[in-house]
Amino acid sequence: MEWRKGEWWNGDLAKDIHDTLKLKENLICGLQGNSPLMYLRRYLVDWLALTCQKFRLNGNAQHLAVTLYDRFTDLYTVSVDDLKVLVVCCLLIASKFEEREEKIPKFKLLMEGLQWQLKASDYLHMELRILSAFGWNIGFSTASHYKDFYMQVALGSHDLHVGRPLVNREEAYIYMEKNVNYFLEVSLQDPAFLVFKPSLITAACLASARICLHISPTWTSEMRRQSNFTWSHLVPCIEILLRLHDEDRKATQESAKASSAVQHQMALNSTGNTPIASPVPPQMTEDSASLQQYQAQYGCMVAPVAPAAHSSLAPIYRYNRGYSMKRT
């Protein structure tokens, strides 16, 4: 790809950089899942994703922000009242580490955009706590760091789409990258992926994208050499990714049906029928169904939380969708 020349993953040192990233991830202790606030993780990760999207931060910054949040809350007890300043700190620390200086959000402008009332002193105190907790070494390997290196082998010269040779490889690559990005988002949002190494998650995202786009073979020898993972290594992670993808697709279809039903009912209302109530997104309160689901799934004991504590957080559904490639 001509437009991708000059980046590290295309250079002579790419293999050495990849091996160094994998060495770093092997030296990092695994997460224990000790945080009592695990039930709020999905909302916070969604908020980080949407905020990164709003400020056009790159994927490395987003993934590092989530990694900092996961590892800090796994080590230390954080109160619900401190969650806002914590996620803001994770976001800004990650952007300072991964982004160009001109793209780093300013704390004051970030607060104005979010309409939050956090104090700069509280932010500086939390930032120091986070950096001290990791010994000022925050260069964690994340799944996003491996994406471009693995995307070099995303499409092979003998790949087939629905049993036929690829006609437009440029278009196929675009669809492939969109799907890989989608699965990387999925891997951030669900705690089930915390047990997998970042490099394995990225490789599994690539394989899952090929499955969804009906590209065969699913895992080539070139991909195996590039990632150092065999198909058997990837299967457990791929199964979770595809299950969540199917759930996401079903939720999208149900949402479309519900939207159609609402529009139909609104049309009936305009003719004089009894109006219906507008749907209200679920609030993360102690008696909400979403909270009960998290309690049942992750076995965490939850203290009462006021709705105002997270009324500005993102909803639980994924906002990114998979993409289907047209038959060529």
Q: pLDDT, tens digit, for every residue of 272-307?
A: 333 333 222 334 333 445 444 434 443 333 333 333
Residue 252's pLDDT is 82
CA distance 198 to 132: 23
Mean pLDDT along residues 225-239: 94
Tell me 182's DSSP state: H
Residue 256's pLDDT is 75
Same domain, 68 and 124: yes
On the question of pLDDT at 151 being above 90, the answer is: yes
Average pLDDT, the chain: 78
Same domain, 122 and 210: no
Same domain, 68 and 106: yes
Residue 296's pLDDT is 45
Handedness of CA 217, 222, 225, 228 (dihedral sign): negative
Length of the chain: 328
Alpha helices in the chain (DSSP H): 14-27, 41-54, 59-75, 83-98, 107-114, 120-133, 143-151, 169-189, 198-212, 221-227, 231-269, 289-298
Q: Residue 90 has which token pair?
A: 């994770």
Domain contains 9 = no
CA distance 133 to 117: 25
Residue 10's pLDDT is 74
Mean pLDDT along residues 171-200: 93
What is the tally of structural domains in the chain? Answer: 2
| pLDDT classification of 7: cutoffs 50, 70, 90 | confident
Sheet holding 215-216, edge to edge: 164-165, 160-161, 215-216
Residue 324's pLDDT is 53
Name which residue leads in pLDDT, 8 or 150. 150
Residue 36's pLDDT is 84
Q: Which of 133, 167, 201 is the last residue of a domain?
A: 133
Same domain, 202 and 236: yes
| pLDDT classification of 200: cutoffs 50, 70, 90 | very high
Residue 107's pLDDT is 82
We report the CATH number of the domain holding residue 49 as: 1.10.472.10
Q: What is the pTM of this model?
A: 0.75
Residue 261's pLDDT is 62
Domain contains 179 = yes
From 255, 223, 238, 235, select the one nearest 186 (Cα to Cα).
238
Q: How far is CA 14 from the centre of its chain?
A: 25
Q: Which of 67, 99, 133 is the last residue of a domain?
A: 133
Domain contains 175 = yes
Domain contains 218 = yes
Residue 325's pLDDT is 54
Residue 80's pLDDT is 87
CA distance 209 to 267: 40
From 174, 188, 150, 194, select the one nearest 45 (Cα to Cα).
188
Name which residue leads in pLDDT, 189 or 320. 189
pLDDT tens, position by position, 66-121: 999 999 998 888 888 888 889 999 999 999 999 888 888 888 777 777 777 788 88
On the question of pLDDT at 187 being above 90, the answer is: yes
Domain contains 310 = no
| pLDDT classification of 213: cutoffs 50, 70, 90 | very high
> Are the C-beta atoms of residues 47 and 311 closer than 8 Å to each other?
no
Domain contains 26 = no
The maximal CA–CA distance of the chain, rounded, in angstroms, is 71
Domain residues for 194?
143-244
Same domain, 126 and 154: no
| pLDDT classification of 8: cutoffs 50, 70, 90 | low
Q: Which of 114, 133, 152 is the last residue of a domain?
A: 133
